[in-house]
């Protein structure tokens, strides 16, 4: 098990499909899109384009959500990075989206990659999921 609480042994394809639909709904929703816009801005503002895995903040580094939390003035030291319910609540997003971002940051970006490559991966992931202003008003 990981910080995202995702597991590798998903034998129920219907449950997986429902979960993926919930994740995509959270991404497309108003709160999800706001988070992605804010996250893009926070990532772009980083002086050193590097992200860590497995923690919101450690040794002067941040994961993707940690960067945004720092920008928003959240006390990251009191948020348990493995408690996705609390993380979601603190960032005002659906728990499914919190888990997805953590998964993308920690696991999908290949933890063996450099912190710089993790930043590039996450910045690209955010861009891929941001809806353009025109689409949001349709």
> Each residue's pLDDT tens digit in the chain (138 positions)?
444 444 455 577 888 888 889 999 999 999 999 999 999 999 999 999 999 999 999 999 999 999 999 999 999 999 999 999 999 999 999 999 999 999 999 998 675 679 999 999 999 999 999 987 544 444
Whether residue 22 is contained in a domain is answered as no
List C-alpha distances in Å: 47 to 1, 26, 43, 44, 70. Answer: 32, 29, 9, 8, 13
Whether residue 14 is contained in a domain is answered as no
Structural domain tally of the chain? 1
- Nearest-angstrom CA–CA distance, 81 and 66: 9
Whether residue 7 is contained in a domain is answered as no
Whether residue 96 is contained in a domain is answered as yes
Tokens 């993380």 sit on residue: 87
Whether residue 39 is contained in a domain is answered as yes
Encoded tokens for 44: 């772009």
Torsion of CA 34, 137, 130, 78, to 10 degrees: 10
- Residue 44's nearest CA partner among 121, 119, 135 is 119
Whether residue 10 is contained in a domain is answered as no
pTM of the model: 0.85
Whether residue 51 is contained in a domain is answered as yes
Secondary structure of residue 57 in the 3-state scheme: strand
Whether residue 34 is contained in a domain is answered as yes
Structural domain harbouring 101: 30-136
């Amino acid at each position: 098990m990981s910080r995202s609480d995702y597991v590798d042994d998903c034998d129920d394809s219907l449950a997986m499909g429902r979960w993926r639909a919930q994740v995509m709904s959270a991404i497309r929703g108003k709160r999800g899109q706001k988070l992605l816009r804010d996250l893009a801005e926070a990532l772009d503002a980083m002086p050193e384009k590097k992200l860590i895995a497995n923690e919101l903040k450690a040794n002067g580094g941040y994961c993707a959500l940690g960067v945004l939390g720092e920008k928003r003035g959240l006390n990251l030291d009191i948020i348990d990075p493995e408690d996705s319910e609390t993380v979601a609540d603190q960032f005002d997003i659906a728990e499914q989206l919190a888990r997805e971002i953590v998964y993308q940051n920690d696991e999908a970006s290949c933890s063996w990659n450099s912190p710089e490559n993790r930043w590039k991966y996450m910045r690209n992931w955010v861009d891929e999921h941001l809806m353009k202003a025109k689409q949001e008003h349709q």
